[in-house]
Amino acid sequence: MPDHRSEKHFNGRIGWLRAAVLGANDGIISTACLLLGVASADMARSELLLTGVAALVAGAMSMAAGEYVSVSSQADTEQAELDREQQELIAQPAAEHRELASIYVARGVSPELAKQVAQQLMAHDALSAHARDELGIHEASAARPVEAAITSAVTFSLGAALPLLTALLVPGAILVPALGLTSMLFLVCLGMLAAKAGGAPLLPAALRVGFWGALAMIVTSLIGKLFGTIV
């Protein structure tokens, strides 16, 4: 039989990859949009940079707190389900065996073989078998609040630093188009990098990230321009 460990799979990266993509994407888009809105309102360079730095720090802290709270809620729910399942295994093991066997029958295994598989898996590790096949809780996708919080904060900071660096280096006369173009480039590269890390097609990911990023920046620029004109 082939050794499954020699096969390359990417589902083990789901947890941190989701947090990394979310953080970097939000860092680029939110900071670029904020800078574009402020720049379109003809604000001074010093105020523009101060706005960008504040956005980076506040955004990173917000992403870390938000990810930790939301993923902790997922972890609490998963643990509650596991505790409930453990109690059911203690109270009614025969019923749990029939339930697990019925899951395998529904997947196409013959009833007799399903009973044997369920019996052997429960003898080895009953809770893991039910967690995986009944509850859909897998080790690779289990909630990790601290990992998600740190990943999101770091990647948000890195993403936000890119448009902020553009605002620092580019002359004011071409700042708005330069921010838009470079941020689009950053977003497309992020989409491709995330797809590469997850083993997914590159082009759809790049187009998806680029489209929504462009839409957000266009709307923000228009609002900034309108607000600056009115004020």
Q: What would the pLDDT profile of 25-56 be if each residue is shown by its tens digit?
A: 889 988 988 888 888 777 788 888 898 999 99
- Which residue, 10, 76, 48, is CA-closest to 166? 48
Taking a C-beta distance cutoff of 8 angstroms, is the pair 35, 221 a contact?
no
**pTM (2 d.p.):** 0.71
Structural domain includes residue 108: no
Digit-by-digit pLDDT tens for the chain (231 residues) are 444 455 554 444 555 677 788 888 889 988 988 888 888 777 788 888 898 999 999 999 998 998 899 889 888 988 899 999 999 999 999 999 999 999 999 999 999 999 999 999 999 999 999 988 888 887 766 678 888 889 889 999 999 999 999 988 888 788 888 988 999 899 888 888 878 877 778 888 888 888 888 888 888 777 766 765 444
Does residue 94 lie in a domain region?
A: no
Residue 16 lies in a domain: yes
130, part of any domain: no
Tell me the backbone φ, ψ of residue 178, rounded to 5 degrees.
-65, -40
Q: Which of 12, 60, 49, 37 is nearest to 159 (CA)?
A: 60
CA distance 222 to 231: 14
In a domain, 170, yes or no: yes
Which CA distances in Å does 161 have to 21, 129, 173?
A: 15, 45, 21
Helix, strand or coil for residue 44? coil
Q: Domain range for residue 186? A: 12-86+145-230
- Domain-located, residue 35: yes
Residue 222 lies in a domain: yes
How many domains are there within the chain? 1
